[in-house]
Amino acid sequence: MKLEGEQFLDADPMTVWAALFDREVLAAAIPGCESLDQTSDTEFAAVVKLKVGPVSARFKGDVVLSDIVPGHSCTLSGKGSGGIAGFAKGAAQVTLTPEGTGVRLRYDADVAVGGKLAALGSRLIKSTAQKLTDAFFANLSEILAVPETAEPV
Amino acid sequence: MTLHIGQSQRRENARRHLAGRGRFVSDLALPRMLHAVFVRSPMAKGRILDIDTEAASLCPGVLRIFTAADLNPRCQPWVGTLDHFAGMQSPPMNILAENEVLWAGHPVAMILARSRAEAEDAADQVLVDIEDTEPVTGGAPVLQPGAPRANEATDSNLCYETLLETPDVDRAFTEAAHVVEAAFTFGRHTAVTLEPRAVVADYDPASGALTVHHGTQTPYQFQDVYARHFGLPEGKVRVIAPDVGGSFGMKLHVYNEEMGTVAASLILGRPVRYVADRLESFVSDIHARDHDVHGRMAVAADGTILAMEVDDLTRIGAVSAYPRTSAAEGNQVIRLMGAPYRMPDYRGKLSVAFQNKVQTSQYRAVGHPIACAVTEALVERAAEATGCDPFEIRARNLIADDAYPHVSATGYQFEKLSHQACLARLREMMDPDALRAEQAALRTRGIYRGFGIASFVEITNPGATFYGIGGARISAQDGAVVRMLPSGDIHCAISVTEQGQGTETIIAQVVADQLGVAPERVSVTTGDTATTPSGGANWACRGAGIGGETALRAGRQLRDRILTLAGALVQADPATLRLAGGAVVDAASGAPRIALEEIGRIATYRPDTLPDGVDHSLTVAHHFAPVGYPFDFTNGIQGSLVEVDTETGLVKLLKHWVVEDCGRIINPLLVDEQIRGGVVQGLGPALFEECQYDADGQLTNGSLAEYLVPMAVEMPDIEIAHIETPTQDTILGAKGVGEAGTAAAGAAAMNAVNDALRPFGACLTQTPMTPLRILDALDAALQERTAP
């Protein structure tokens, strides 16, 4: 299943880039994220609770970042198991392109799902994936929009 | 004397169901009953590295969690092969996956909890670590040497292959004026019964008795299966199939979950319930079809069909189904090809291949829709090649109604069929000349209608050569116990079963006529191995033909008993008496001699008043096995009228016609209901239903949001007519009818769609004929027309 899209983020590329590698930012931005541990510079272990149609599941998975061109692009690949609900695995190519005052983030993902999730049908999976992606970027934009001075001292 | 056979009688149990008084296994709750949920492999193929059940075992309400090591040793593995399919191979199967998982949905663990909800929550906590390997999901290449295998236990992905041919088939093709050919693909689909598979197993350790309440069409087969595979005395196993919410062949196979439920009850000594939910039905109920067929037809210049040659590749699961196998469908496909026609020569090749998907096996009209669609599509092409019209080419080639007995090129023996009479009747009903005129007029307005017809032969009333000969413990005979109650009412316990088709109603009609009573006075018991005699039950359209004959013969034996007893009571020669109107009457004058209730009273309460030596027993048991022809074939023809929207690819079904010959009709209302339901089940996979898989072996439309079943609003009016050619093999003369509608509905619809698309040169050879496939066919035809 192919997922693709792009999002304009009103922040400079290096800020966005740093956010994508920031455990706390990611944990706050990923919808349903229950825990996110950074296991190395380029690896994360996540537990995410998702609901797809009638199936809800707690996914445990690992994400690895590779092909890293700092400030420009990287590949995220991962595999998650949702127990009886099934599994998901895939890879996404993420590219940042400066645009005006901000940056345009583009992603091209190829995702395979299995088990009960797959059987629900790609229409449901795809619309849910789109919804989750939208939520992720909305969260990210919100986090990036917070002025630095607002951070607690 | 026939009074009720041939009359439309409403289905006896329909009123009970309408009143909400159905007794389905799904509704059954026994004291101390546990609920089972299965943890399934999400991978289509892989090796189990670890199953961690610890967290799940701590969940509220959970009593036990079983893995293969707990359950499988309690059960003899089963092997889905039959001896008469020479060279067939399939690995042994047991309840839970041991090392390998073989399809997405393969059960790997079983949770037992106080409620289904608690069991499901716990199932969520089971961690199954599976190292996935590349599954086998493709077509022909899976049979090439060195191809990855769907299971590690067989030496190749070839489950079974066979070849049928007549000596002169090659000459027929060489000498033919025309050879037409096409490649067809028939998608996978599944039964989608209203009530899913349901079982409540109840083992009583005190008595050693196992009672299994099982929503199945074949309780005696499961009594045998449970006894043998769990090492129990057959007499200690009772299988009860109460109301069953649809079965269609899907509920006579051995499934991992039912066997697991029985094993769990044996281990725990308490009732265990398993009811499949809709999502898991899609990945555990058998699927059907999944065939690629290449077909050729040799035709003389005048349109005479000389020969057919077909090559059928069918992809089953990773393991053949048990006990009927997954090869029987392909076997019927290649044997039913060209069956309605005089065609003298034939070659049919069948290859049955393993792959990592849900098992396929018998489902309503096993093989018939495929053989019919291929044959009838090629007949249409032959008509086009020789300038014949669809009715004309069939009239020229269908076996003449006075040319029986006839043996088909594939070896089927036909006692007597009525193809030509059916064709003539269909022509009257459809009025093809008017349809052609309408078609031409509408085309000028950009409306594309088409009609298609399809002749068929249906296998019914199978004898022991069907399964018994292959070593399967599947009964070809049936049994009935008919008794007169003291009141003169009649009770019949019979081995054919009821899944909503009206078996009990027609059995009552048949018995009533033998005993001269109204059917309302005949009560019928089915579906309980403890209270009915053993028999084959319901599959392959045998309920009316074999079950009905069993009831008839048992009824006649009871009639003779009653007349003998009556003769002693009224001091008359029994030969001068008969039964009518609930009484013994004088055979010649019809004058009443003694009422049945009076005979019942004396035989039951005052046998002391009978003359010495008079037998007062008013219960008879009789078993009947088919004799004569190996099958009683039926025949018929269907027509379909459609409108195709060439902009959207949507097909509107406008009208459907069926002319059917099922021999003696016991109940016209129920026969027509069977045909209508069958037609809908044939049109579903022709246009809507398909189990879609991705390359990883994942079912991608396993819910009713994605899997399209035919709905009432899409279905056309279905007009039905009958020709009656009773079989001479039985007194009753009835043949089966349950699969006739399904056999040819899709073939007729495919010919109709292609007739509608003829102006564009587009042609569909794949089912379901989805809007996308229709647009693709239109596009391909356009490319071809505009290519330089």
State yes or no: cis peptide before B533, omega within 30 of 0: no
> Chain A residue with minimal CA distance to B130?
A81
Mean pLDDT of the region A83-92 = 84
Q: Is the confidence at residue B1, as pLDDT, over 60?
A: no
Least confident of B141-150, B251-260, B399-408, B752-761: B141-150
Closest CA to B42 of B123, B140, B145: B123
pLDDT at A150: 47
Instruction: Give mean pLDDT, residues B373-397.
Output: 98
Residue A147: its pLDDT value, please? 56
Kindly indicate the confidence band of residue A14, based on its pLDDT and cuts at 50, 70 and 90. confident
Degrees to nearest 5, angle at CA B449 with B447 and B451: 175
pLDDT at A134: 85
**What is the pLDDT averaged over residues B124-149?**
88
Residue B452, φ and ψ in degrees, nearest 5: -140, 155
Note whether B748 and B679 are within 8 A (CB). no
- Mean pLDDT over A2-27 rounds to 88
Residue A7 banded pLDDT, cuts 50, 70, 90: confident
Cis peptide before B768 (omega within 30 of 0): yes
A99-146 pLDDT tens trace: 988 899 999 988 888 888 888 887 888 888 888 888 888 898 888 876
For residue A79, the cross-strand partners are: A62, A89
Of B125, B696, B702, the CB nearest to A83: B125
Pair type for strands B345-353 and B305-315:
parallel
Q: What integer is the mean pLDDT of B757-771?
A: 98
pLDDT in tens, B619-643: 999 999 998 999 999 999 999 999 9
Half-sphere exposure of A140 (CA within 13 A, CB side): 24
Beta carbons within 8 Å of B652's beta carbon, 6+ residues apart: B642, B643, B644, B645
pLDDT tens digits for A27-49?
A: 999 999 999 999 998 899 999 88
Residue B269 contacts residue B207 (beta carbons within 8 Å)? no
CB B542, CB B461: distance < 8 Å: yes
The interface predicted TM-score of the complex, written ipTM, equals: 0.79
Query: How far, in Å, CA of A24 to CA of A36, rounded?
Result: 8
Average pLDDT over residues B65-77: 98
Chain B residues with CB under 8 Å of A53 CB are 703, 705
Neighboring chain A residues of B42 at a CB cutoff of 8 Å: 81, 84-87, 114-118
Q: Which chain B residue shows the shortest CA-CA distance from A113?
A: B698
| B99 touches B47 (CB < 8 A) | yes
The answer to whether B362 touches B489, Cβ cutoff 8 Å, is no
Could you tell me which chain B residue has the CA closest to the CA of A82? B124
Residue A110 C-alpha, separation from nearest chain B C-alpha, in angstroms: 14
Model confidence pLDDT, tens digit, residues B271-290? 999 999 999 999 999 999 99
The residues that bridge with B50 in the sheet, in sequence order, are B129
Residue whose C-alpha is closest to residue A64's, from A51, A74, A56: A74
Q: What is the structure's pLDDT at A146?
A: 60
Q: What is the pLDDT of residue A153?
A: 46
Q: What is the pTM of this model?
A: 0.94
Mean of the per-residue pLDDT values of chain A: 85
Residue B736: Cβ within 10 Å count: 26
**Percent of chain B clearing pLDDT 90 (strictly above):** 94
Q: pLDDT tens across B298-319, in order?
A: 999 999 999 999 999 999 999 9
- Stretch among A118-127, B329-338, B362-371, B385-394 having the lowest mean pLDDT: A118-127
Lowest mean pLDDT, pick from A9-18, B499-508, B739-748: A9-18
CB contact under 8 A, B702 and A121: yes
Shortest Cα distance from A56 to chain B (angstroms)?
9
State whether B279 and A121 contact (CB < 8 Å): no
Strand order in the sheet with B158-165: B158-165, B345-353, B305-315, B287-299, B178-190, B766-767
* Closest Cα in chain A, distance from residue B426 (Å): 41
Closest by Cβ to A114, choosing from B104, B120, B123: B104
Q: What is the pLDDT of residues B17-70, one digit of tens each?
A: 999 999 999 999 999 999 999 999 999 999 999 999 999 999 999 999 999 999
B535, B495 in Cβ contact below 8 A? yes
DSSP element (H, E) containing B526: none
